Amino acid sequence: MQARRVRAGMMEGAQAILPVLLGVVPFGVTFAVLAMAAGVDTWGIMAMSALAFAGASQLVVVDLLSQGAPMLLALVAGLTVNLRLLMYSASMAPHFATTSMWWRAVVAFLMTDQSYAICTIRYSRDSRLHRLGFAIGASFVLYLSWLLGNALGLALGALIPRHLSMDFAIPVTFMALIAPTLKDRPARYAALAAGVVSLLANDLPKGFGLMVGAGCGIVVGMWSEHVLAKRTVSPR
């Protein structure tokens, strides 16, 4: 019975992560192409992805190495980018309090921004879900997809025109994550406002436009939630 629940949880996790792969695979291709351009060989690229499995950190490391930075500095920068995973671990720990150390280590290794978001969304609304199975299923499919993207980048990198930008991969990944959470009007209004303002303020220096967009999204979301709440409680 327990094994059946684990398998069911893994299948649910694998299915839940599928929309995210639309961005993860191109992201993996992009990383492999950039790493090759920076002089990292095939085995180095695949080993980095297989052993680290941290796309943002890997890009930072490759970028610094391509600029001639010392290896130690590149590694420290990559680890710094990954510090956010400590917060993810603290958030996820209560869900795996009775799980063995081995399986907790596996979940920790496979955990990414995308799988963390998918897991926390499902854990909050489905108390019957086998949480370990779900996390393993979602994260392992993501892991294989990342390696597949790297392999495709290595195989097709020479054929991809230099002028063809694949920067869309990262925002597409997070759009796939955010879309299922926009279930009420305040959330949709907030997302729309944040997106529009961020685009309009894109030319502001040092990423300030993104901060302005996020702030506007928060304000619009809170305002629309307040207005809808007043309409709900107002006497007829």
| Overall number of domains in the chain | 2
Q: Are 187 and 110 contained in the same domain?
A: no
Q: Are 84 and 116 contained in the same domain?
A: yes
- Mean per-residue pLDDT, 91-116: 90
What is the rounded distance in angstroms from the CA atom of residue 142 to the CA atom of residue 85?
Answer: 16
- Mean per-residue pLDDT, 128-136: 89
What is the rounded distance in angstroms from the CA atom of residue 151 to the CA atom of residue 157?
Answer: 10
Tell me if 175 is assigned to some domain. Answer: no
Tell me if 176 is assigned to some domain. Answer: no
- Mean per-residue pLDDT, 93-104: 90
Segment (H or E) for 14: helix 2-17
Domain end position, chosen among 96, 127, 159? 159
108 CB-near residues (< 8 Å, 6+ apart):
85, 89
> In one letter, which amino acid is 139?
S
pLDDT of residue 164: 56
Tell me if 167 is assigned to some domain. Answer: no
What is the rounded distance in angstroms from the CA atom of residue 224 to the CA atom of residue 185?
Answer: 8
pLDDT(209) > 90: no
pLDDT of residue 105: 92
Tell me if 206 is assigned to some domain. Answer: yes
Domain assignment of residue 84, given as a range:
2-159
Q: Are 11 and 90 contained in the same domain?
A: yes
Tell me if 67 is assigned to some domain. Answer: yes
pLDDT of residue 16: 92
pLDDT of residue 1: 53
Among the residue ranges 32-46, 95-109, 215-229, the one predicted with the least confidence is 215-229
DSSP 8-state secondary structure symbol assigned to residue 204: S
Tell me if 177 is assigned to some domain. Answer: no
Q: Are 154 and 222 contained in the same domain?
A: no
List for the chain the helix, strand, coil content (%; round to 5). Answer: 80, 0, 20
Q: Rounded to a whole number, what is the largest CA-CA distance in the chain?
A: 70
pLDDT(166) > 70: no
Regarding pTM above 0.75, the answer is no
What is the rounded distance in angstroms from the CA atom of residue 155 to the CA atom of residue 25?
Answer: 14
What is the rounded distance in angstroms from the CA atom of residue 207 to the CA atom of residue 195?
Answer: 14
Q: Are 66 and 103 contained in the same domain?
A: yes
pLDDT(175) > 80: no
pLDDT digits (tens, 9 = 90+) for 54-71: 887 888 788 778 777 788
Alpha helices in 18-41 (DSSP H): 21-37
